[in-house]
Amino acid sequence: MAILVTGGAGYIGSHTVLILLKYGIEVVILDNLCNASHKIINRLEKITNKKLIFIENNIVNRICLKNLFKKYDISTVMHFAALKSINDSLHQPLLYYSNNVTGTIILLEEMLSANIRNFIFSSSATVYGIDSPIPYCETNSIGHTTNPYSTSKLMIEFIIRDFVKVNPSFKAVALRYFNPVGAHESGELGENSTGVPNNLLPYIAQVALGRLKKLNIFGNNYNTPDGTAQRDYLHVIDLAEGHLNVLNHLPKIKGYKVYNFGSGKIFSVLEVIKIFEKISGKKILFEYKPRREGDLPSFWADTSLAKNELGWQAKRDIYTMIRDMWNWYIKNPNGLN
């Protein structure tokens, strides 16, 4: 039996593949490399000393999926494959809906025809939208998303929920990730962001490498202790390990379940900058700019459900996250491109 990891050459997918292989779980990776490099497969083989089964293709390719499900004994699909840039989605909504939503529908249809009935989906804390009570709890209502990317995740959660209702032997888990950062301690894997990063930590790293002049801090008049926005950061290895907890818990799951994957701890932009400067010894120049459209002042996860039901909680602290992230960038200043 093997796990199909769609998007397994990506940032979170590759770290999860590493953890699965470490625990002796067979993996098949499907990734079209639209936001990843084939080199990550070589890195994974180097770290694990194993030959990986990697199929370079698109999740919308039904023939590919049918052949893959025929050839490999897949028990579960971990579905990481998606386009994930909020900013890009605002300019290319149809691309995001076709890639993320249509792609997932096709995947589910082909899983059903192949009688593969375990599905673990990478959702996002952004499905809680702009007016959900904080800390975000899985029982909060979801919606009022602010961009096509987050709406694609919201739509997929509804699709999975409705699909499982009429296929009671199907098990599905949606994991709402908060803000994953960091990298494997080897520095062999990491976030391979191309172009100017949207996210805070990769942007800070580019400033530290001298690639970008300064960081624009979007808003310093939020109702937070230092006026800058706060986020719930979690180490990507904690996140990857959490997928093992879900796998082990699958036999007890009935139907469709949702879990927050966050640390429950928040740090502001200024706090992150200070910690980064301490760890890296680099000075990060910054300038305050107006708030970024769609940004919230502060949100974090209620982590109790994942802790009580999955026995999972984030363990690594913000210093470890930033130290491992910076180690990746020092070793791979140009990413893997």
56 half-sphere exposure, CB direction, 13 A CA radius: 9
Q: What share of the chain is helix, strand, coil (3-state, %, to 5)?
A: 40, 20, 40
* Binding partner of residue 35 among ligand WQD, ligand NAD, none, CB cut-off 5 to 8 Å per kind: ligand NAD
Report if residue 150 touches ligand NAD, rule: CB under 6 A: no
* Binding partner of residue 295 among ligand NAD, ligand WQD, none, CB cut-off 5 to 8 Å per kind: ligand WQD
* Binding partner of residue 217 among ligand NAD, ligand WQD, none, CB cut-off 5 to 8 Å per kind: ligand WQD
- Asked if 191 and 10 touch (Cβ cutoff 8 Å), the reply is no
The nearest distance, CB 188 to ligand NAD, in angstroms, is 15
> Which residue do the tokens 């036999």 mark?
251
Catalytic, out of 96, 149, 222, 233: 149
Chain length of the chain: 337
The nearest distance, CB 269 to ligand WQD, in angstroms, is 5
Determine whether 97 is an active site residue: no
Pick between residue 44 and residue 201 the one whose CB is nearest to ligand WQD: 201
- The 10 Å CB-count burial string (b at 16+, else e) for 165-203 is eeeeebbbbbbbbbbbbbbbeebbbbbbbeeebebbbbb
Binding string to ligand NAD for residues 179 to 218, with x set by CB under 6 A, is what? Answer: xx--------------------------------------
Q: Residue 16's Cα: distance from chain center in Å?
A: 10
DSSP label at residue 298: B
Pick between residue 9 and residue 68 the one whose CB is nearest to ligand WQD: 9
- Residues with a catalytic annotation lie at 149
Binding site for ligand NAD (CB under 6 A): 6-7, 9-13, 31-36, 58-60, 80-84, 99, 103, 122, 124, 177, 179-180
